[in-house]
Structure 1
């Protein structure tokens, strides 16, 4: 089998990707000589079919070897532009919305759900080396809380294969720089990926199911053609002259023309593509998409819509239409528009099929949403007690990920005595608490919240909190990230008692001058990060503390005098990274320095921007 493998590698002509992909194909086999011989024969026969064929044909074999259920998953990647970083959660939601991945039955008590099936399919594509990993959740060197992939990317050659196969299958129509200027009419297509701006009226297919935008859908040349060039040039020339009355008159003319054009594009979509399942505006560049004055109420015509994302986009009118309530088939709704204090009508409760809900980060005070009917919800982002009802969380029995955007206040809370449960899901594994408006969370309310989250393995708090609860933590907690906290007491004595904590991160945290890790504390901690702990001066570690630590990172803790003596007893430590620290701190740790004996057993020590 070794010789057979060597012969197959020769056919890859030294192309690393072809070798890796070939290895991915062989890895799916059961190491039987018959199966490997069959792959070898396929490689040889493929290369003999044409004069100009080469190692790229090995890549084509990877597609031919895919089982039927993986082929549409792979072809769907053709939607995304070149070098695009694909968010895995979003990709899975798109697969599910389009019915590319489905599960015949979702059991009520912990059975496999369709998102789990989709994630297993993605894992298979990764193992076959057909997509490249770019980022994992909770990445910390080689240490992982889970193996869940966060972002992926396609190699250029593999993307070329994907585009070629998608074109052969008429899987998706892609509007890009090669055809946008020549488009006059697009008919009989089910999916369209728009990667440059063009006239949406070119699409004449009433059966279209999927429409993904990766660029501004309003072409600027449409505006230029609708107004005299002199007007546009005058507006551009006097853009900074706020006292020029003619400028303001012409600016209003340009703005109203743009508004009418964009609104016309919206209404064309909402009234002509009534079978749409997916409508996504993806932010590809650093700027946001200005999508017009408002979201027309005609969006209520898209009653078959399963996926709608308006993330990072802007509307001038800070109010969403109540016709959104007609979209009762929605599974994913992303309303994280890039505009403060937008009003969301109380219609989301009608969308009982919702599985992933992303609310705006800042709703108007008049917004009050009933969400208790959303029993299928898996993801809820930007929940707060100002715009939502706390009691609704008890009905979300399938919730897996909850992000609370403060304020978070518990009604009828008793300082002593029993309080009613507020979390109804036993599957909740991730809890995020974020402060975006100068709010703080009452430590007693936080303690009660954590006591309800009995299954979480991931906790992230980015808020002004003075003290961590001493108990009420899930025994499953493996990852904790603390940001912007202002601890009045050392949090280590509380955190070191968590039996399964593996990753602990402090960022931009203010607290006391001292931290202490006692013997037998942090029994399974593998990664520890101190990033900008502004007041930390002295850190002590007892012998026997952190016996599993593998990675330590200290960044911009300018007041920290030295590393603790106890580090020399941590024989598992493999990586030490020191960044943006004082030169004196660095000199002590380098070979020959007075503290080098504390870290001389560490295989990898790196210094960056110290001096």
Structure 2
């Protein structure tokens, strides 16, 4: 948004290297934090400030000053006059949705850096050349020309329904510089490795129900640092939801030379996974590994013993025999004895066992 307003207007040089406008903007934000004008809410998984906030007195002052100078308008959706937005009488707008409101109709988007609205009609996104963040989008609800690419998009979250496989592959291939990608919902098969951005650093798969081993494709992503497999809940009736795994296969293999920069791997609620094999030379940079509620997984991979960088291993809500095998004296303890921090918790345990 700062770039769109012209507050960050040019590339600058810093300590002998050329900073992009995005780098400059993050430096400005860090300076505001250092001056205690802005407080850090959360740090992102890739080391940048993810959310921030203000002290209430500072916020009140800023809102008052913004309204005085006609810089920003804050509206409840019930009082919002959409015609004013469409006629450009309001330059900057914050819209507060009530808890029972699902979407906004009739607002025409132009050059916004961030977009997340749930809509009931098609979104024309072909002119959003400066878009950097696009979340909660359903591929079948957007329209973009065949030639268009999101050349500045860095964050994408796709919510998918069955039957949109081609639309997802098309959307991902139009994002050449994306860094963070979240695929949510039924997918069945991943796009090919060359369709992903080479810049991709974080990938989350939620309830994708993949049928083929995803590691064969994902191991080829050169800059992937964070990989998460999570379940998603699908509503099957008014009162019932069912959990969906991100991978429905029984076997998973991380082969030699794969995942060169991967630092964090989360395997969560893979109901059907029985065997996970890690070859020597795979994931040479892995620091943190979490396995949660993979109830059919028979044992920890033997190849973990070769990952000298592994510092933290969490095994949560796994069967007691699986946990017992990793305790000192257990048959699999040798595979993980080099790990500095080991957290183990079985289904029936309330106490977490930590050994270092």
**TM bracket (short chain):** 0.7 to 0.9
| Partner in structure 1 of residue 32 of structure 2 | 125
| Partner in structure 2 of residue 456 of structure 1 | 178
Cα distance in structure 1, aligned partners of 2:299 and 2:259: 21
Cα distance in structure 1, aligned partners of 2:281 and 2:82: 64
Task: Pick the structure with more helix per residue.
Answer: 1
- Is residue 132–residue 154 contact of structure 2 (8 Å, CA) maintained in 1? no
Q: Is 1:497 equivalent to 2:213 in the alignment?
A: no
| Partner in structure 1 of residue 314 of structure 2 | 577
Q: Is 1:428 equivalent to 2:153 in the alignment?
A: yes
Cα distance in structure 1, aligned partners of 2:209 and 2:41: 33
Q: Which secondary structure state, in structure 2, belongs to the residue aligned with residue 124 of structure 1? A: helix
Q: Is 1:136 equivalent to 2:22 in the alignment?
A: no
Distance apart, 1:359 and its partner CA: 5.0
Cα distance in structure 2, aligned partners of 1:380 and 1:298: 25
| Partner in structure 2 of residue 389 of structure 1 | 143
Cα distance in structure 2, aligned partners of 1:445 and 1:514: 28
Q: Is 1:542 equivalent to 2:336 in the alignment?
A: no
Q: Is 1:348 equivalent to 2:255 in the alignment?
A: no
The partner residue of 2:208 within 481, 485, 508 is: 485
- Is residue 481–residue 504 contact of structure 1 (8 Å, CA) maintained in 2? yes
Deviations 1:403-424 (A, max 9, x none): xxxxxxxxxxxxxxxxx5441x
The partner residue of 1:339 within 90, 96, 101 is: 101
Distance apart, 1:124 and its partner CA: 2.0
Distance apart, 1:490 and its partner CA: 0.9
Cα gap change, 1:566/1:129 in structure 2, threshold over 3 Å: closer, same or farther?
farther
| Partner in structure 2 of residue 255 of structure 1 | none
Cα gap change, 1:594/1:312 in structure 2, threshold over 3 Å: closer, same or farther?
farther
Cα distance in structure 1, aligned partners of 2:214 and 2:86: 53
Deviations 1:480-507 (A, max 9, x none): 1111111111111111122222111111
- Is residue 521–residue 546 contact of structure 1 (8 Å, CA) maintained in 2? yes
Cα distance in structure 2, aligned partners of 1:427 and 1:476: 12
Q: Which secondary structure state, in structure 1, belongs to the residue aligned with residue 157 of structure 2? A: strand
Cα distance in structure 2, aligned partners of 1:522 and 1:557: 22
Q: Which secondary structure state, in structure 1, belongs to the residue aligned with residue 272 of structure 2? A: coil
| Partner in structure 2 of residue 102 of structure 1 | 7
Q: Which secondary structure state, in structure 1, belongs to the residue aligned with residue 73 of structure 2? A: strand
| Partner in structure 2 of residue 606 of structure 1 | 343
Q: Is 1:276 equivalent to 2:70 in the alignment?
A: yes
Q: Which secondary structure state, in structure 1, belongs to the residue aligned with residue 289 of structure 2? A: strand
Cα gap change, 1:549/1:129 in structure 2, threshold over 3 Å: closer, same or farther?
farther
- Report the TM-score, using the length of structure 1 for normalisation: 0.48
- Is residue 477–residue 500 contact of structure 1 (8 Å, CA) maintained in 2? yes
Cα gap change, 1:474/1:103 in structure 2, threshold over 3 Å: closer, same or farther?
closer
Q: Which secondary structure state, in structure 2, belongs to the residue aligned with residue 607 of structure 1? A: strand
Task: Pick the structure with more strand per residue.
Answer: 2
Cα distance in structure 1, aligned partners of 2:332 and 2:104: 58
- Is residue 586–residue 610 contact of structure 1 (8 Å, CA) maintained in 2? no
- Report the TM-score, using the length of structure 2 for normalisation: 0.78
Long gaps (5+) in structure 2: 13-17, 232-245, 349-356
| Partner in structure 1 of residue 242 of structure 2 | none
- Please identify the structure whose Cα radius of gyration is greater: 1
Q: Which secondary structure state, in structure 2, belongs to the residue aligned with residue 310 of structure 1? A: strand
Cα distance in structure 2, aligned partners of 1:106 and 1:497: 32
Q: Is 1:525 equivalent to 2:262 in the alignment?
A: yes
Distance apart, 1:122 and its partner CA: 1.4
Cα gap change, 1:131/1:608 in structure 2, threshold over 3 Å: closer, same or farther?
farther
Cα gap change, 1:494/1:278 in structure 2, threshold over 3 Å: closer, same or farther?
same
Q: Is 1:307 equivalent to 2:44 in the alignment?
A: no
- Is residue 490–residue 515 contact of structure 1 (8 Å, CA) maintained in 2? yes
Distance apart, 1:209 and its partner CA: 3.5
Distance apart, 1:455 and its partner CA: 2.1
Cα distance in structure 2, aligned partners of 1:96 and 1:522: 34
Q: Which secondary structure state, in structure 2, belongs to the residue aligned with residue 348 of structure 1? A: coil
